[in-house]
Amino acid sequence: MAKEGADMTEETEYMIDRNAGKEGVSVESPSNAKEMRAVVLAGFGGLNKLRVTKKAMPEPQNGEVKIRVKACGLNFLDLMVRQGNIDNPPKTPLVPGFECCGIVESVGENTQGFEIGDRVMAFMNYNAWAEVVCTPVDFVYKMPDEMMFAEAAAFSLNFVAAYMMLFEVAKLREGMSVLVHSAGGAVGQAVAQLCSTVPNITVFGIASCFKHASIKDSVTHLFDRNTDYIQEIKKISPDGVDIVLDCLCGENTGKSLSLLKPLGTYILYGASNMVTGETRSFFSFAKSWWQVEKVNPIKLYEENKVIAGFSLLNLLFKQGGYNLVKSVMNKLLSLYEQKKIRPLVDSLWALEEVKEAMQRIHDRGNIGKLILDVEKSPTPLMANDSTETSEAGEEEEEPEGDNDSKERMPFIH
């Protein structure tokens, strides 16, 4: 990974590890070093742990490109990271964010295929929410000419995860049926679009009611998340469904398994149910854990069911799957160029508005993806609200519930 500041030790593995936050956020930058803005998570917890601060600008190491960031993706996972609601959390302070896009500003040795000025998008093992990032070329992809930065920041994580679950794990093919939770969200909409590239797929989507008018055309059947969706789906398809994509976990795991047809595949890829309040709740964690159906392999054998799990970030950064991901990305970019898929962007936010953006996901308000637009100025209401130029480790108490709800800022195509 890139060195940031003179006393940074070089990391050789692309891993999410306990030290992933050590890169420089609390290190004084040398007075002659160039600086950049970055979002910093000072510690796990509520929104008041987030701030924008100045950091030393990274320089590319061997095999890395330096990207002047234009936009970053904000994912539900970032909310879980903020709360410390993840396995083996890295140390804080850290710069959050797993994906961004921008323009290559300089290149290290051994970065064949990339040149200064290239428009690129990249996966990051944290550190994406900054004006400048450095990352190994294994995780960098060129953007199509017609793709806008806001779209690029909404593309990688959601479409690669959706594609790999549908096509690599569950082997989606003509005539199958798919159940997807959080259908109005970024992954949910990527799943819906990819399903539409295969003939005769029935998509059962579940989402909060207010989203239905906006997303009803993207799925075959849509249910309110508060209804008994098992009964509703069985009324339409008494045999159940071929594929269940479960990002909720907890009680939904058992319900979803009961819906699987013989030879059907259930994939767990998230644990949104663990998020309840603003900070991590041990009760929600325990409840979710307790409610998960205990899987008996003999029962699976008798019922002809497949259970799988999928984590794109672990595949990329812990399990060396970047070449496979690159081949998937090439297929996805081809689908984009054929105009068969296009990321749905919910809204754009300045770095300084990161708290409000995160609150929007927490409040289930988003339809599609939230983007941090690095060049956007905060709206006057938000200005100075979360900008913090002091050292990242310092704590500042802020009153709870200071996140005024904000009108959705539509993305203009």
Ligand X SMILES: NC(=O)c1ccc[n+]([C@@H]2O[C@H](COP(=O)([O-])OP(=O)(O)OC[C@H]3O[C@@H](n4cnc5c(N)ncnc54)[C@H](OP(=O)(O)O)[C@@H]3O)[C@@H](O)[C@H]2O)c1
Integer CA distances (angstroms), 166 to 24, 76, 159, 187, 317, in order: 38, 20, 10, 12, 21
Using CB under 6 A as the binding rule, whether residue 170 contacts ligand X is answered as no
Interacting residue with ligand X among 42, 47, 157, 170 (CB under 6 A): 157
Q: Is the CB of 157 or the CB of 354 nearer to ligand X?
A: 157
All residues at 6 or more sequence positions from 23 whose CB lies less than 8 Å from its CB, including other chains: 1, 2, 4, 8, 58, 94, 95, 127
Is residue 258 within 8 Å of residue 233, measured between CB atoms?
no
Q: Which sign, positive or negative, has the C-alpha torsion 168, 245, 309, 140?
A: positive
Angle between helices 229-236 and 251-259 (to 10 degrees): 10
- Provide the sign of the torsion angle of the four alpha carbons 284, 285, 291, 293, taken in this order: positive
Residue with Cβ nearer ligand X (44 or 310): 310
For ligand X, which is the closer residue by CB, 182 or 386?
182
CA separation, residue 225 to residues 2, 230, 252 (Å): 43, 11, 11
How many residues bind to ligand X according to rule CB under 6 A? 30
* Number of neighbours of residue 141 by Cβ within 10 angstroms: 21
- The region of 53-61, 228-236, 304-312, 387-395 touching ligand X under the rule CB under 6 A is 304-312
Within positions 194 to 223, which residues make up the interface with ligand X, using CB under 6 A? 207-208, 211
| Residue 310 in the binding site for ligand X (CB under 6 A) | yes
In the bound state with ligand X, the residue whose beta carbon lies nearer, of 58 and 73, is 73
Residue 362 binding ligand X, by CB under 6 A: yes
Using CB under 6 A, pick the residue from 106, 281, 311, 387 that binds ligand X. 311
- Cα distances from 315 to residues 15, 180, 281, 318, 322, in angstroms, run 10, 22, 27, 6, 7
Residue 141 CB, nearest approach to ligand X (Å): 17
Helix axis angle, 156-163 relative to 186-195, nearest 10°? Answer: 50
Within 47-106, which residues bind ligand X (CB under 6 A)? 75-77
Q: Lay out the site mask for ligand X across 7-46 (x = CB under 6 A, - = otherwise).
A: ----------------------------------------
Judging by DSSP bridges, how do beta strands 345-349 and 50-56 pair with one another? unpaired
Is the Cβ of residue 25 or residue 195 nearer to ligand X in the bound state?
Answer: 195
Is 250 one of the binding residues for ligand X (CB under 6 A)?
no
Binding site for ligand X (CB under 6 A): 75-77, 157-158, 161, 182, 184-188, 207-208, 211, 225, 247-248, 269-270, 272-273, 275, 310-312, 361-362, 364, 366
